Amino acid sequence: MIKDSIGQTGEKRMQIMPNRMDREFYKHQTEYEEAALQVLRSGWYVLGENVRKFEEEFAQYLGTAYCVGVASGLDALWIAFRALGIKETDEVIVQGNTYIASVMGISINGATPIFVEPDEYYNIDTNKIEEKITERTKAILVVHLYGQAANMTSVMEIAKKHGLYVVEDCAQAHGACWNGKKVGTFGDIGCFSFYPSKNLGAYGDGGAIITNHKEVKDFVQMFRNYGSEKRYYNKVVGTNSRLDEIQAALLRVKLKYIEEIAEEKCKIAKMYLSELSNAEVVLPAQRPESNSVWHQFVVRCNRREDLIKHLASCNIGTIIHYPVPPHLSEAYQYLKICRGSLPITEKYADSVLSIPIYTGMSEREQEYVIESINTFE
């Protein structure tokens, strides 16, 4: 028993953080350090060769024509909608239980987010999209939450029927597939975050936009660099949102191991799904057509605070993704959406809990998490 081996009086107990970003670094430390030093020694730190090569390599990995690096996942989202001409008076459909950055990508452009309830897989319930479409609806934002692909077959059918753009928020789903095709490649634009905790995480902020449309690629390349195609000649009022050269170099290293990272997390998730057996803890459902890359392993518990305290007493860290749904946040009170309007979204916000899952997590650590959850009363 894990508890017997590490929990005896006077012995140091195991401590497990919700995430460990350092272990993947140490696994390939020499490659990361060499890549960083190469950039530092080059004297070229903004929009250099590494950004260009990473854009090419990431586009090739995903199977799309173009990739443009930007400064963050949020920048990818709001610039994507800007590229599509989304503006004030427009509406964009999005699931209610997403991270607030998804919604900010819409509202930064002056458009109104229209929330749809999630399904049992934590993704948008495609059966509830059409009832929210109005003459002002211009796009659907699909969020592949926690690393599992949404039902892109249904989304694309609805979008085609109603003449809507589709933007995919793939911030948590690098390499996830729907029926064998990678997410981000179904809609008009795919948006990615390279925040350090992601499967394809940088060592700082970063993001990217992918597309098969050259006009979108050309606009984003110009817009991210102060609206300039030629230095000091500005076509539009753009922004400064450029993927750093050093981050691109580090991402090029990690991209080589992205499938290995996903496979390792899938193995941990499989163990959790097989061994967790506490009746008070609801395990995540898996959609048959989707292969999750397990950015997070999210359970539900009606006694969440008690479970958090129990795991903390076992020196196991957890995170809630996310405790306040966007429609109830202070930032979006102007929408005047009251509590009770999205009951499934709110139920998830009150009960979801992410347990530790990360690259380099030992089998001993996994067993300890499992035993600690299974002994929760």
Tokens standing for residue 280: 């008070």
Rg (alpha carbons) of the chain, rounded to whole number: 21
Q: What is the pTM of this model?
A: 0.94
Q: Cα(352)–Cα(308) distance, rounded to whole angstroms? A: 11
Fold match between domain 2-19+258-374 and domain 27-255:
no
Under 8 Å CB-to-CB from 254, ≥6 apart: which residues? 24, 28, 200, 201, 202, 261
Q: What is the mean pLDDT of residues 218-242?
A: 95
pLDDT of residue 12: 55
Q: What is the mean pLDDT of residues 20-41?
A: 96
Q: Cα(333)–Cα(338) distance, rounded to whole angstroms? A: 9
Domain ranges of the chain: 2-19+258-374, 27-255
Give 280-298 pLDDT, tens digit per residue. 999 999 999 999 999 999 9
**pLDDT confidence band for 105 (50 / 70 / 90):** very high
**pLDDT confidence band for 310 (50 / 70 / 90):** very high
CATH annotation of 27-255: 3.40.640.10
Q: Show the DSSP H helices in the chain as ranges.
A: 2-6, 22-27, 29-42, 49-62, 73-83, 100-107, 152-162, 214-223, 245-255, 258-275, 304-313, 343-351, 363-374
Give 141-185 pLDDT, tens digit per residue. 999 999 999 999 999 999 999 999 999 999 999 999 999 999 999
pLDDT of residue 5: 38
Percent of the chain with pLDDT over 90: 95
Residue 312 near residue 284 (C-beta atoms within 8 A): no
**pLDDT confidence band for 14 (50 / 70 / 90):** confident
Q: What is the mean pLDDT of residues 87-111?
A: 98
Q: What is the mean pLDDT of residues 64-87?
A: 98
On the question of pLDDT at 3 being above 80, the answer is: no
Q: What is the mean pLDDT of residues 48-67?
A: 98
Q: Cα(40)–Cα(217) distance, rounded to whole angstroms? A: 28
- The top-level CATH class assigned to 2-19+258-374 is alpha beta
